[in-house]
Amino acid sequence: MSLDILSGPPISAPVFEEDPLDLMDEIDALKREKNASILAHYYVDGEIQDIADFTGDSLKLARDATTVESPTIVFCGVHFMGESAKILSPEKRVLMPDLLAGCSLADSCPHDALKAFQDKLRAEGREFVTVAYINTTAATKSLCDWIVTSGNAREIIDKLPADKEILFVPDQHLGRYLMEVTGREFILWPGSCMVHEIFSLQDLLRAKRNKPGSVILSHPECPQNILEVSDVIGGTEKMRRHVQSIAEPTTFLVATEPAMIHAFKQVAPQHEYIPVPGIMASTGETCACNRCPHMARNTLAKVRDCLRDEKPEIVWQPYFEQARDVLRRSLLQ
Ligand code: 13P
Ligand code: SF4
C-alpha cells in the first residue's frame, strides 16, 4: 500500500440519499399493512404533506386525530402536537418520525417555572385564569385553565370572565396581538418562537417596495413590528383560506415557516409566494433561511422507519390525565 494513501485526507463514508419516490411507495404500502393514517402540519416538507392523509394547522390536526378511523396515527409535526393527539385519542397508538422535534415556545415555559409563577401570583392575592397556547408540553398544559391555538384563541378569550386577570403563556407576541384584538389585558410570559422572531422588518419593507401591490401575510407569532406592517394576520389555516379566496394572481410576502408555501400552492397556484426574507439579497435571489429546525426533523425516510418499526411512540404519561380535561374543553367543545 502506498504511503500517500495512508497519509491522505480522511475518507468519509458516502451518504446514500434514498429516492423520494421509492420512499413514498414504501410508505403507502406500510400504511395499508399497518392500518395507519398520516397527519402532517403545514410546516413539514411538502413531500410529507403530499403523502399525508390529513394536513392542517394545530387545531385541525388535534381534531382530526379524534376522528381518524385507523388505530395508528403517524404524527408529522412537533412533540407537543403528537402529545395532544395522544391525549385526545388515548386508545390510538401515536407514532412520530422523530421524538426530538421540539418547539422553542414549549421549551420556554416548563411546568415547574409556570407552577412557581402561578404560586407567586396566588400568594399576592391575584385572581387569574391561565391560558396556554397549544405550543406547550402536556405537563405545562396540566396547570392551565384553557388551551388556545391560533385558530380559536379569540373565541375562547372572549368567553373568559371579565373579573379575572389572564395569565397568557408562553408566546409574548401572540399574547400581545390577542390583547389588541380582544381588548383584554394579559400577564404575558416572555416566550417566543425562534422562527417567527427572525424576520427582518427592513428586508420585508424592501421586498414590499420592490413588489408593488404585494400583500404581507404574517403569523401572529411574529413580533409587533412585523405585524404592524402586515396586510393579513392569521394562523396557518386562516392564511391558507385567505390565499384561496383571492382569484386575481397576487404576490404574497410570507412571514411564516416557508414550508407553508407548499400548502398555499395546493389551493392557490395562481399566486406568487415569496418567503420573508426572500428577495432581499442584493443578488435578487430568494432564500428560505427561516425553516423551523424542529419541523425539519421530519423526513420521508423517518416516516417510513417509524411505520416499519412501529416506533418511536408517544407513550401515555400520568399527567396526560389532567391535560385531557383542559384540552377537550378547549378544542373539542
Ligand atoms: P398553527 O398552525 O396553529 O397556526 O401553528 C403554527 C405553529 O407555529 C405550529 O408550531
Ligand atoms: Fe415551535 Fe416555532 Fe417551530 Fe412552530 S415554528 S414548532 S412555534 S419553534
| pLDDT tier, 2 (very low <50, low <70, confident <90, very high otherwise) | very low
Within 13 Å, how many C-alpha atoms sit on residue 158's CB side?
6
Ligand 1 atom at minimum distance from 235 CA: 4
The alpha carbon dihedral of 28, 33, 38, 44 has a sign of: negative
Q: What is the pLDDT of residues 280-319, one digit of tens each?
A: 444 545 455 688 999 999 999 999 999 999 999 999 999 9
Q: Specify the ligand 2 atom closest to the Cα of 294.
A: 3
- Secondary structure (DSSP) of 39-76: EEETTS-HHHHHH-SEEE-HHHHHHHHHH--SSEEEEE
- Digit-coded pLDDT (tens) for 141-178: 999 999 999 889 999 999 999 999 999 999 999 999 99
Q: Who's near 118: CB < 8 A, 6+ residues apart?
A: 130, 143, 167
d(CA 64, CA 7): 58
User: Which percentage of the chain shows pLDDT scores above 90?
Assistant: 85
Q: Determine which residue's CA is closest to atom 4 belonging to ligand 1.
A: 235
Q: Average pLDDT in the 197-205 region?
A: 85
Counting from 1 in the atom list of ligand 1, the atom nearest the Cα of 134 is 3
Ligand 1: residues within 6 Å at CB?
57-59, 103, 135, 149-151, 193, 221, 235-236
3-state secondary structure at position 328: helix
Amino acid at the residue 219: H
Report the relative pairing of strands 72-76 and 36-41 from DSSP bridges: parallel
Measured CA to CA, the distance from residue 159 to residue 54 in angstroms comes to 30
Residue 269 near residue 292, CB atoms below 8 Å = no
Task: Copy the grid coordinates of residue 116.
Answer: 412557581
Please name every residue paired with 93 in a beta bridge, in sequence order, or none if there are none.
72
Which ligand gives the minimal distance to the CA of 235?
A: 1
Quick one: pLDDT at residue 199?
83
For ligand 2, atom 3, name the residue with the nearest CA: 292
**Which residues have C-beta atoms less than 6 Å from ligand 2?**
43, 78, 103-105, 135, 193-195, 221, 257, 292, 294-295
Residue pLDDT, tens place only, 220-250: 999 999 999 999 999 999 999 999 999 999 9
Q: Which domains does the chain have, with CATH numbers?
A: 20-102+296-309 (3.40.50.10800), 106-194 (3.40.50.10800), 196-291 (3.40.50.10800)
Query: Which of ligand 1's atoms lies nearest the C-alpha of 149?
Result: 3
Gap from CA of 87 to ligand 2 centroid (Å): 20
* CA of residue 124 to ligand 1 center, whole Å: 34
- Residues 39 and 48: their CA atoms lie apart, in Å, by 9
pTM: predicted TM-score of the whole model, two decimal places: 0.91
Task: Say if residue 182 is exposed, middle or buried (CB neighbours under 10 Å; 0-12, 13-18, 19+).
Answer: middle
Task: Judge whether residue 54 has pLDDT over 70.
Answer: yes
Which letter, b or e, does each residue of 309-326 get, where b requires 16 or more Cβ atoms within 10 Å of its Cβ? eeebbbeeeebbebbbeb
